[in-house]
Amino acid sequence: MRKKILSLILLALLTSAASAVTITVNSNGRIITTSEGNLLTSGASTIRVGTFDVSGGNLDTITNSKSFSAVDALFTPVLENNAGGGTVFAANHADTNQRLHINDTGTAGNIFAQITGVSASYYGGGTQLYLWVFNAADPSSSTEWGIFSSSNVVWDFPNDDLGSSSLSTMDVDNVIVGSTGAGSLLLAPIPEPSVSLLALFASAGFVFRRRR
């Protein structure tokens, strides 16, 4: 009976291991900087890995919206304590919310981390993966962000168990938000919504006074 139980446990572990994939994120060839070219540093930046729903008019929202909540609603990340979303196989490269950060060792602006144990059914096979990079530890309070991807097939979620994806910044050829420089990926400024609303109210007040 004990042998049968041990066999069942071993089978469960093997089945679990066989249904997981690995995603590697690295800045090989291109460091990550602010819009002004300043290197992102550990603890003051966040990198989210996942996929966007670009159907219909969503791509326009992703490209042009300055609202974190609006763009976030179209994003499905790995990690971030999501069931089946995997864990970070690297020390000090993620926070308690399981979001990646620039490495705290070596040169600023770089990252190397592995996301292991992602369920093979988490996305559909061949799903396009993206890097969503922020200049703050809390994405919702960032003042700059960048969204990058690549046509390289290794940026697709694996089609089979025990598959792997390698998201290297040197492969980036699809910039949704931000830009590319000489050996770097640059974020783009995000105007504060409150500033825009203030300007709108000020303009409305000016028109009202003129009418009176």
pLDDT for position 6: 37
pLDDT for position 91: 61
SS3 of the chain: CHHHHHHHHHHHHHHHHHCEEEEEEECCCCEEECCCCCECCCCCCEEEEEEECCCCCHHHHHHHCCCHHHHHCCEEECCCCCCCEEEECCCCCECCCCCECCCCCCCCCCCEEEEEEEECCCCCCCCECEEEEECCCCHHHCCEEEEEECCCHHHECCCCCCCEEEEEHHHCCEEEECEEECCEEECEECCCHHHHHHHHHHHHHHHHHHHC
pLDDT for position 207: 42
Per mean pLDDT, which range of 4-18, 48-62, 96-110 is the poorest?
4-18
Over the chain, what is the mean pLDDT? 82
Could you give the CA distance from residue 35 to residue 18 in angstroms, rounded to a whole number? Answer: 41
- Average pLDDT over every residue of 121-135: 95
Q: Is pLDDT of 150 > 70?
A: yes
165: left (phi over 0), alpha (psi -120 to 50) or beta: beta
Residue where the block lists tokens 């003051």: 44
Q: What is the pLDDT of residues 162-206, one digit of tens each?
A: 789 999 999 999 999 999 988 999 999 997 654 444 444 444 454
Strand partners of residue 165: 23
Q: Percent of the chain at pLDDT above 70?
A: 77
Could you give the CA distance from residue 100 to residue 40 in angstroms, rounded to a whole number? Answer: 13
The residue ranking higher by pLDDT, 50 or 43, is: 50
Going from the C-alpha of 182 to that of each of 33, 126, 170, 185, the distances in angstroms are 11, 30, 11, 8
Q: Is pLDDT of 52 > 80?
A: yes
Q: CB–CB of 54/134 below 8 Å?
A: no
pLDDT for position 151: 96
Q: CB–CB of 32/116 below 8 Å?
A: no
The model's pTM is 0.81
Ordered by start, the domain boundaries in the chain are 20-211
pLDDT for position 24: 95
pLDDT for position 15: 39
The residue ranking higher by pLDDT, 33 or 210, is: 33
